Amino acid sequence: MGAKKAKKSGVPADKLALFDKLIAAHPEIERKGANNAYAAVNGNMFLLMQPTGTLAMRLPEGARADFLKKYKTKLHEAYGAVMKEYVTVPDALLEKTKELQKYLELSYEYAKGLRPKPSKKKS
């Protein structure tokens, strides 16, 4: 048998490759999602790649304010709603994997500290 075919994603291939590169250094982080690539821990999403190729990252309050100011970006919006704990990662920063790693670690640790959400999967 050949290699397992990846599910078709609505995300541009170059952005998806950057998303995968970002989480590759963290074996505890698993990429999920067929149409929207995302990462979650204990049922709490903390990283989301929109079909447009825009990356949203969940950050704790202090780090979020610093990130918004430093990178001159905004809270993430999806489907007309502001995702209050998520920042929009500028494309230029998405390409700087090493610089973005520290925010990924903050995001992961923050989500790990949130109350676990029960799984919706049926056994």
- Helix 61-70 × helix 97-112 angle, to 10°: 160
pLDDT for the residue numbered 115: 92
75 close to 68: Cβ distance less than 8 angstroms? yes
For 5-48, how does the pLDDT look when each residue is reduced to its tens digit (9 = 90+)?
Answer: 444 557 899 999 999 999 998 999 999 987 689 999 999 999 99
For 77-94, how does the pLDDT look when each residue is reduced to its tens digit (9 = 90+)?
Answer: 988 999 999 999 999 999
Q: What is the pTM of this model?
A: 0.86
Number of H helices, E strands in the chain: 4, 5
Show the domains of the chain with their CATH numbers: 13-112 (3.30.1460.30)
48 close to 32: Cβ distance less than 8 angstroms? no
d(C-alpha 30, C-alpha 115), whole Å: 19
